[in-house]
């Protein structure tokens, strides 16, 4: 009798899981992701007061292609991480694969990428910079608390910090700073908004590879694997129909 009850409970649980999975796939319920401000990938408030950004638009378009509405809201990063660990939210956008995240996140195919560069004033010659260690001879700044600063520390490059990208660009142009170590895409976008893009030069660093940014879904959130699969299908579709390239061109041109 006990074995019969155990088998019955197991079958019931299995049926519930199957039915639950089926109902989400069929109903195409809306899914919400949470972000922080990281232009041009994630913009918490554009000139119309709406959440936008290159990766935001890509995620919305990909889900729309498979009949799912993706809602994007703003939340502090620490709360995003805590909520994803507990399965309270579906996930976030524009995050990268890291070992410490593997236990509680699923990662999509790449949406975009970040290319770390040495930004300088256009008429300031730093042609001798080709690797991160070459920055040791210059006065360098970076945005405080950003993970990429670990690369400077690891390579023995001394640096100061600034509060945000706009301040970093301003320091480069008008203060005693030689190099702003930051992402090429984010810096170029902010410089364009400030009207100073033509005043900056970008030097690639051969020993710092680009970082892929992805849709990251909480493993503990219901239907997490299906969410990733639906997004991957939609991403493939918008890449094939040209929507993906159009979105990127809008923000990076």
Residue spans per domain, the chain: 27-113+212-252, 116-204
Q: Which of 10-24, 103-117, 183-197, 198-212 has the lowest mean pLDDT?
A: 10-24
Q: Output the pLDDT for position 253.
A: 81
Q: What is the assigned CATH class of domain 116-204?
A: alpha beta
Query: pLDDT by residue (tens digit) across 47-90?
Result: 787 899 999 999 999 999 999 999 999 999 999 999 999 999 99
CATH number of 27-113+212-252: 3.40.190.10
Q: Is the pLDDT of residue 171 over 70?
A: yes
The pLDDT confidence band at residue 176, using thresholds 50, 70 and 90, is very high
For tokens 């939609």, what's the residue? Answer: 234
Same fold, 27-113+212-252 and 116-204: yes
Confidence of residue 7 (pLDDT cuts 50, 70, 90): very low
Whether residue 113 has pLDDT greater than 50: yes
Instruction: Tell me the pTM.
Output: 0.79
Report the alpha-carbon distance of residue 47 to residue 191 in Å, rounded. 16
Instruction: Reply yes or no on whether the pLDDT at 45 is more than 90.
Output: no
Q: What is the pLDDT of residue 3?
A: 52
In the numeric block, which tokens belong to residue 244? 């993906």
What the block records as the tokens of 90 is 């579906």
> Does the pLDDT value for residue 23 go beyond 80?
no
Q: Which residues pair with 160 in a beta bridge?
A: 141
**Residue range 164-186: average pLDDT?**
95
- What count of other Cβ atoms lies within 10 Å of the Cβ of residue 34? 20
Q: If DSSP states are collapsed to H, E and C, what string results for 177-192?
A: CCEEEEEHHHHHHHHH
């Amino acid at each position: 009798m006990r074995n019969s009850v155990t088998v019955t409970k197991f079958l019931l649980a299995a049926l519930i899981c199957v039915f639950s999975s089926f109902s989400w796939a069929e109903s195409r319920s809306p899914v919400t992701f949470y972000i922080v401000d990281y232009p041009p990938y994630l913009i918490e408030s554009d000139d119309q007061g709406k959440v936008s950004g290159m990766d935001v638009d890509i995620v919305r378009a990909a889900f729309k292609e498979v009949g799912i509405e993706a809602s994007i809201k703003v939340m502090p990063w620490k709360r995003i991480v805590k909520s994803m660990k507990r399965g309270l939210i579906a996930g976030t956008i524009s995050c990268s694969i890291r070992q410490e995240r593997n236990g509680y996140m699923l990662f999509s195919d790449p949406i975009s990428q970040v290319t770390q560069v040495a930004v300088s004033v256009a008429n300031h010659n730093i042609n001798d910079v080709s690797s991160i260690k070459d920055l040791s001879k210059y006065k360098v700044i970076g945005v405080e608390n950003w993970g990429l600063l670990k690369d400077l520390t690891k390579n023995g490059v001394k640096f100061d910090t600034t509060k945000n990208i706009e301040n970093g660009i301003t320091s480069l142009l008008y203060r005693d700073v030689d190099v702003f170590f930051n992402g090429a895409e984010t810096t170029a976008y902010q410089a364009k908004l400030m009207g100073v893009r033509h005043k900056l030069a970008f030097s690639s660093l051969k020993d710092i590879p680009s970082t892929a940014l992805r849709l990251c879904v909480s493993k503990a959130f219901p239907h997490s694997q299906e969410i990733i699969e639906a997004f991957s299908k939609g991403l493939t579709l918008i890449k094939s129909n040209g929507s993906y390239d159009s979105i990127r061109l809008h923000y990076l041109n």
